[in-house]
Amino acid sequence: MQPPTNIDLKKDRGLTIEWTDGSTSYYSIAHLRKWSPSADSKEMRAEQDRNPLTVLPSGGSSGPLAALGAELVGNYALRVKFSDGHDAGIYTWEYLWSIDPTRMESEQAD
């Protein structure tokens, strides 16, 4: 997959990506954090699937969740640092494409 043509992070709101095919994806900060590709986040999502009453960790943040910044990882991914201290997930372009909220909604509707 080709790298995006434009990436715009609004630290208190979300991430907008313009793809080479002309489409645009928008990810809220909460959506990005929830769908972090890190091992601990994957395990937390699996635990929530098994037990919907799973208590989520509070994190180290006071106040609303925000992105503190983002950095490119080579030419294939983005790493986002969150205000709760999480920065372990590397979001490849393919992964970001797959977790686009609009795409996820349409797949669930099918």
pLDDT digits (tens, 9 = 90+) for 93-107: 999 999 999 988 877
Report pLDDT for 105: 82
Reported confidence tier of residue 75, pLDDT bands at 50, 70, 90: very high
Reported confidence tier of residue 91, pLDDT bands at 50, 70, 90: very high
Report pLDDT for 110: 64
Q: What are the residue ranges spanned by the domains of the chain?
A: 6-109
Region 16-42: mean pLDDT is 95
Report pLDDT for 48: 86
Reported confidence tier of residue 77, pLDDT bands at 50, 70, 90: very high
Closest CA to 17 of 106, 108, 91: 91
Q: pLDDT: is 108 or 93 the higher one?
A: 93
Contact 32, 15 (CB under 8 A): yes
The average confidence (pLDDT) of the chain is: 90
- Provide CATH code, domain 6-109: 3.30.2020.30
Instruction: Dig out the tokens for 33 from the structure.
Output: 């954090």
